[in-house]
Amino acid sequence: MEQKVSNNNSFMGYTRSDLTNFLIAMILSFVAIPLVVQTDYWYSSILIPWLCLALAAIGQQIVMGYAGQLALGAAGFMAAGAFACFNLILRVPDIPFFVALGLSGLVAAAFGILFGLPSLRVRGIYLMVATLASQFFIVWMIDKFGWFKNYDTSGIITAQDIVILGKPFTSPLEMYLVILVVVTVLTVLAVNMARGSTGRNWMAVRDMDIAAESMGISLLKTKLQAFAICAFYCGVAGALFAFTYLKSLEPVAFDIKLSFKILFMVILGGLGTISGAFIGAAFILLFPVLLNSVGNNVFHGAIDATIISSIEQVVFGVLIIVFMIYEPLGMAKLWGNIKQRFSINK
């Protein structure tokens, strides 16, 4: 009987509370939100970019938070994914959307392996500089060779509609659901990897590479694997970002600012946690919105919009410093501490 109970409590290594949380999240996102939220603004300006960027942040989390490789260039991989998806749908007749999405992820993953190569030689801040190459090279390549943009001269290419099984998904709610499915699947896979032997290998390389190698972990394979998976996630995220949020394809959208944004999401959210990617993305996206509405509603426009956006930068900077000093594991850890305190008090 005892045995049976403990079996019921865990499914694939997850505890009951993990599963309950997952179920609640699923009901909330698939049922409650579509029923309650009716305004397009929420979908197209908050939920859709949040999910896209959270997905990219998971990628950054894998390479930086788990494998400990300081990489900066997530936006480059996003651009690779976005333009790969554009070209696949354009040039391959009748390609199903999810297949195109998966393939664009793989294209980005190939770039990830290429630009992950410096990690075998350099580390830390030097690696960060080396991985900047991906950021600049990919965007430059797309700009330089007209083929990637289908020789469009206007500079802004409209993204194709998402068509799944003959049905177009064009309304914000429909697009939200498409993204939600992709993000859910990829998040579950990422959590599985992070908790399994794959994640342990990454973390071992992060914490002490010499010891990891002495235990039989190949540094080459593990680092490149992390880079490839990171780029895959970023590539898929980039394609979704372009097709659902931007609704256009322009290399400038994937500039270094976006890479830094994703980096901040991971640092603020918490290095080495998948949930941190979601928390960080939500914070970085919602904070400016919040600040704006405070500026408009409390001060009634007395504060100039440019000042507000400057305040935003200042607050981010301060927060990052504060987190680096007091809670390097970010908001996810903070949340964990709060939960722990309550469960002890009970």
Partner 1 sequence: MTIDRNFPIGEPVLEVKNISLRFGGVKAITDSSFSVLKHEIKAIIGPNGAGKSSLLNCINGIYQPQEGSIAFKGKVLEKITPNLIAQKGISRTFQNLALFKRMSVLDNILVGRRLHMNSNFMQVAFQLPKARAEEKENLAKCEEIVDFLEIADIKNTPVGKLPYGLQKKVELGRALATEADFLMLDEPMAGMNVEEKREMCRFILKVNDELGTTMVLIEHDMGVVMDISDNVVVLDYGKIIADGPPDEVRANQEVIDAYLGVSHD
Return the structure tokens found at 171: 């309304």
Number of residues that make up the chain:
346
Q: Which is nearer to partner 1, 32 or 189 (CB)?
A: 189
Helical (H) or strand (E) element with 158: strand 157-158
Among 52, 57, 75, 229, binds partner 1 (CB under 8 A): 229
In sequence order, the 6+-apart residues with CB closer than 8 A to the CB of 13 are 195
Identify which of 8, 20, 46 has the alpha carbon closest to the alpha carbon of residue 288.
46
Closest contact distance (angstroms) between CB of 313 and partner 1 is: 31
Closest contact distance (angstroms) between CB of 272 and partner 1 is: 7
Contact window for partner 1 (CB under 8 A) among 21-29, 84-92, 189-197, 301-309? 189-197
Buried b (16+ CB within 10 A) or exposed e, 195-229: eeebbebbbbbbeebeebeeeebebeebbbbbbbb
Is residue 204 at the binding interface for partner 1, with CB under 8 A as the rule? yes
Closest contact distance (angstroms) between CB of 207 and partner 1 is: 4
Dump the DSSP string for 108-122: HHHHHHHHHGGGGT-
Among 44, 60, 61, 198, binds partner 1 (CB under 8 A): 198
Is residue 190 at the binding interface for partner 1, with CB under 8 A as the rule? yes
Is residue 216 at the binding interface for partner 1, with CB under 8 A as the rule? yes
Report how far residue 202's alpha carbon sits from residue 126's, in angstroms, rounded to the nearest whole number.
Answer: 20
Using DSSP's 3-state secondary structure scheme, residue 14 falls into strand
Binding mask 62-101 for partner 1 (x = CB under 8 A): ----------------------------------------
Is residue 279 at the binding interface for partner 1, with CB under 8 A as the rule? no
HEC-encoded secondary structure of 31-86: HHHHHHCCCHHHHHHHHHHHHHHHHHHHHHHHHHHHCCCCCCCHHHHHHHHHHHHH
Among 23, 196, 299, 321, binds partner 1 (CB under 8 A): 196
Is residue 214 at the binding interface for partner 1, with CB under 8 A as the rule? yes
- Binding residue count for partner 1, defined by CB under 8 A: 29
Contact window for partner 1 (CB under 8 A) among 1-9, 41-49, 82-90, 195-203? 195-203
In degrees and rounded to multiples of 5, residue 93 shows phi and psi of: -65, 140
Neighbours of 29 (CB within 10 A): 17
Is residue 9 at the binding interface for partner 1, with CB under 8 A as the rule? no
Contact window for partner 1 (CB under 8 A) among 117-125, 186-194, 234-242, 285-293? 186-194
Chain residues that interact with partner 1, rule: CB under 8 A = 12-13, 189-190, 192-193, 196-198, 200-201, 203-204, 206-208, 210-219, 225, 229, 272
